[in-house]
Amino acid sequence: MIIQQYTVNQHPIQTLLTWVQSGEIAIPEIQRPFVWNSTQVRDLLDSLFRGYPTGYLIIWRNHNVRLKDGTTSTGKRILIDGQQRITALMTALLGIQVVNKDYRKERIVISFHPVERKFEVFNSAIRKDRSWISDISTVFSSDFKPLKAVKDYCLLNDFEDEDRIYESIDSLRGIVNNPIGLIELHPDLDIETVTEIFIRINSAGTALSQADFAMSKISVNEKYGGDTLRKAIDYFCHLAVAPEFFPQLGEVDKPFKETIYYSKIAWLQHENDDLYDPTYTDLLRVAFTSEFKRGRLEDLVALLSGRNFETKDYEESIAEEAFQKLKVGVLNFMNENNFKRLVLILRSAGFVDASLIRSQNAANFAYVLYLILKKEQEHPGIIERLVSRWYVLSVLTSRYSGSPESQFHEDIRRMQEAGTAKYIHDVIQAELSDTFWELGLPQQLNTSSTNAPVYQVYLAAQVKMRDRGFLSKDILVHDLIVHKGDLHHIFPKEYLKRQGFVRGQYNQVANLAMTQSEINIALGAKPPSHYFQELLDQCSGGKLRYGGITQRSDLEENFRMNSIPEGIEELDASDYERFLDARRRLMALKIRDYFQQL
């Protein structure tokens, strides 16, 4: 027998708005930026006015929780789909302010033309036009008098048909009586099932992440400061990419300025480093995994709800403890010293530009590892070595690209069992064997994607080993990456295209090298046998053509730094595949040498 997992009911808009205002239904996104634009709000009002369907709202009730005194508290309903529609109605009909993308509170004012029976976003032209009701929220206020409003409107506009105006305004006021479908999901449903229901019902097919559910659980729990914690997470992530927002923060949210979080994130106002800009998902994942020693955010949702994993019951004491631990984890994440130390470790490993950080989850677990090792009071030098080696291993093996939560959970569990340092050593020995360096890694380098993580590691290796750019006498790969130098095709692209090679062949990463723009331009489409011979002549007193290298020993050293195979000056298009194979092996050896130096 199939058990019904939800109930479906129709409720008037007025009832739903009353429930939201009273807190019976919590809108977890209420403190986050309202993402709809003004015309979307207008269109929603127009659809309701015309009696068009506007979709279902989905709520998910929290579990009933056993309190410390033995009594039971009824779980609050959380609105997980429909926040934008409900928020739009509250700002348009009730005159409530919303938080915009700049985290400033604003009204979205919708106007109504009772003669033409149409809606428009309030603007300066409407302000001057007496035929519009400039703000429809006045029509829904408790002191609105329809008959007087109709007479005033007709008198002001010299309009004789009062019945027509009354009918229009009455229809407008009737919007709040329109029914909206409300789907209430059973509290025992797991996150995966709730997500599946959400996707099937939501016409846009928008996916919900476990982090979304966790943030919802956090924000609606005011008892343990979840609403403030939620804002702290949002503000931190916003400031990480927009530090100029900080001076406004104290103005737009004065209560938050009085919290502990405000001072803890103040350092971001002077921070312009974009190497690691976390989202709220990243922040939650790191804070939870490092503090709870678990990897699945589904478990965080359960713990914040008060779930006892042994008895399967829901207890207030567990929810209280979970909020306290999460607060510690979030504050550790936000700590200036911790955050900057992680960034410094990544930079010191050669990842000096955000373009080189292609696996955010690898960076997230690197932060988890740093926080754990610091808590274990490991020596800073050892922390740096272990974190950098684990990060590079994670990228090279795509460790967190498939099912990151499962891998987070497995790694954190095994680290607790075996000891952090020992587990890292064992994984390195198992996964980065001689076979990996000699066969596996060269195969991974068989790609034309410059975004491939292994290629980013190769560039980081060149940065770490202070290699100079291809044919550069003094300029380092580090500087070329930071200042956006050129990627030169060693076998020039146009040359290979004339020989019949296609994009996936001539754009192989093994055919690319960081170089100065002027060198790249000078080399043009010349075959390598031509320009490499000119380089040899340049190093024998000949004309200076490419870069500033004039000594054969310096040229050979530059070739070594850039993994250029020997005898390249004798190669032509028929040797291209052989060249790629040889260079991939040299690139893999450079990455191996680099890793061993970390």
pLDDT at residue 419 in the model: 95
Q: Which of 353, 554, 367 is nearest to 470 (CA)?
A: 554
Residue listed under structure tokens 């530090």: 243
CB 575 within 8 A of CB 528: no
Question: What are the DSSP E strand ranges found in 255-315?
Answer: none
pLDDT at residue 205 in the model: 47
Angle of the 360-375 helix axis to the 404-418 helix axis, nearest 10:
20
CB 515 within 8 A of CB 484: no
Q: Which helix (H) or strand (E) holds 213?
A: helix 210-219
CB 246 within 8 A of CB 266: yes
Burial 38-47 (b: 16+ CB within 10 A, else e): beebbebbbb
Q: Which two tokens stand for residue 159?
A: 């309009």
CB 550 within 8 A of CB 412: no
Contacts of residue 50, defined as CB under 8 A and 6 or more positions apart, other chains included, come to none
pTM listed for this prediction? 0.84
pLDDT at residue 577 in the model: 95
pLDDT at residue 199 in the model: 60
pLDDT at residue 28 in the model: 62
Q: Which of 295, 304, 299 is nearest to 218 (CA)?
A: 304
Distance of alpha carbon 100 from alpha carbon 245, whole angstroms: 13
Q: What is the pairing mode between strands 486-489 and 512-515?
A: antiparallel
Q: What is the pairing mode between strands 179-185 and 6-12?
A: antiparallel
Q: How far is CA 487 from CA 353, 469, 496, 513, in A?
A: 16, 10, 16, 5
| Tens of pLDDT, residue by residue, the chain (598 residues) | 445 677 888 889 999 888 888 877 777 654 456 778 899 999 999 999 998 888 788 888 766 655 455 555 566 777 877 888 888 998 999 998 887 777 777 889 999 999 999 999 999 999 999 999 999 999 999 899 999 999 999 999 999 899 999 999 999 999 999 998 888 888 777 666 776 666 666 545 455 677 888 888 888 788 899 989 999 999 999 999 999 999 989 888 899 999 999 999 999 999 999 999 999 999 999 999 999 999 998 899 889 888 888 888 888 899 999 999 999 999 999 999 999 999 999 999 999 999 999 889 999 999 999 999 999 999 999 999 999 999 999 999 999 988 888 999 999 999 999 999 999 999 999 999 999 999 999 999 999 999 999 999 999 999 999 999 999 999 999 999 999 888 999 999 999 999 999 999 999 999 999 999 998 888 888 888 888 888 888 988 888 888 888 999 999 999 999 999 988 888 888 899 999 999 999 999 999 999 999 9
Distance of alpha carbon 219 from alpha carbon 541, whole angstroms: 72
pLDDT at residue 31 in the model: 43
Distance of alpha carbon 81 from alpha carbon 321, whole angstroms: 28
Distance of alpha carbon 473 from alpha carbon 15, whole angstroms: 74
pLDDT at residue 295 in the model: 92
Q: Which of 72, 59, 504 is nearest to 315 (CA)?
A: 72
Angle of the 226-241 helix axis to the 280-292 helix axis, nearest 10:
120
DSSP structure class, residue 564: P
pLDDT at residue 207 in the model: 58
Contacts of residue 479, defined as CB under 8 A and 6 or more positions apart, other chains included, come to 469, 485
CB 514 within 8 A of CB 469: yes
Identify any residues that bridge with 182 across adjacent strands, giving them in sequence order: 9, 57
Residue listed under structure tokens 């019976």: 24
Burial 227-237 (b: 16+ CB within 10 A, else e): bbbbbbbbbbb
Burial 393-418 (b: 16+ CB within 10 A, else e): bbbbbebbeeebbebbbebbeebeee
Angle of the 576-597 helix axis to the 380-396 helix axis, nearest 10:
160
Q: How many other β-carbons are positioned within 10 Å of the β-carbon of residue 24?
A: 13
Distance of alpha carbon 481 from alpha carbon 3, whole angstroms: 58
